[in-house]
Structure 1
Amino acid sequence: MNDRPAGRPGSAGERLLQSHLGTADRAATFYDRQVQPRLTDQMRDFVGRQTMVFLSTADAGGNCDTGFRAGPPGFVTVLDEYTLTYPEYRGNGVHAGNGNVLENPHMGMLFVDFTHHHIGLHVNGAAQLVGDAEQRRVYPHLPLDSAHGRQPSVWVHLRVHEAYVQCSKYIPHLEPAPRPRGLGADRPKDSDYFVPPAAAHAESRSHPPAPTLPMGY
């Protein structure tokens, strides 16, 4: 459900909290100057330089998922002042974020420059999934090899509703560095990093622990 007043940025919840905390005037100034209904030239240039983006989606019930995508500068392509697109490649097969898009097209994107200007850009809009062949037929100039020979399984196509700055106050400074080759000796594989190794997991499922007896037995 969209609770945004017609023609005004910000949700009803935002405005209620602004009134309660006494920030309505400051928020109005931010809305008037910073919240844009399209990508300005400066925003388009900024997106074209970025190598990563954070994503937020929710399903029809409001259950959220966050995601992260990275690639060479410009892997998120600005098609025009109202449209962004980026490729999706084979991953773990879950499709959590894109599955949400099929139920609820609202998507939030956050681009952050950690190394030079220490500034961020929020882009919110409505997303849809487009097949690679169809996308390239309409936009033949899209990059062909943004993932070293991997073929996109689908493209995420975002129609921009609003875009605005993320201030630099709490953005840390990060220095780019070459990624080490291979895993450290004490570093688990990705699939085992936060859960038991697959064999141990299967064994624990096959042999559940005995229930704890009540005190006194």
Structure 2
Amino acid sequence: MQIQDHRQRVAAERRERMRARLFASAMKLIAAKGTAATSIDDVISAAEVSRGTFYKYFASPDALVQELAIEIANELIRMAEPVVLSHDDPAQRVSCGIRLVARLAIDHPLAASFLVRLGWPDVRGPNILLEFVRRDLLEGIRQGRFAPMPIALALNIVAGAVLGATHCMLEPDCESDFAEQTAAAALRALGVDAKGAERIAHSALRPVEILAGGLLVQTSAAMAAAQPR
């Protein structure tokens, strides 16, 4: 039994190393060439693996990018959760989450571009980023902090705010406080009074702790390597 467990553990570790290798190769290529111009041949050549090995892990380049976006979303949630939970007020928590995700575009534009590729989420199904905020929306409605509404509507308000803000903040001419403007607008739509929404959205935002060796660090390194010397 111990031998079997050891073999399973070694096999799982090998799979994770290969996934990480393919992710790293894809990030470097996408940073240099863009998603549309990156092919399976590019990825397998950069990762120095066979086509068969690629297909053991991903059905297509799009599937790889989708998986990478999900991994980045998971990492972002792990980093943001301690900051969000430092607030007791559900409105503060929702605002904090919107601002942290949107501001990802400033320091980690490649990571933010992967998140944008996840597209409009199905608010009635499982979604990593929306599950992150569902708890606080439900609590805010229960407390009367937010207006009574179907949770699907509240989730759509937040999803639209985050997706739109991230899109805008990837553009060079976007206002520097667009994340705060977006959070205030979302809070108003959820039923927070205008003055309260502005105050909350522009309150001090504690920085997240970037995970050493994580995907955000890797995407930044890929972007730096892609810059002309």
Q: Determine which structure has the larger strand proportion and give its number.
A: 1
Q: Determine which structure has the larger helix proportion and give its number.
A: 2
Is this a same-fold pair by TM over 0.5? Answer: no
| Greater RCO, CA 8 A, separation 6+ | 2
Q: Normalising TM by the smaller chain, what interval?
A: under 0.3
Return the TM-score normalized by structure 1: 0.27
Return the TM-score normalized by structure 2: 0.26
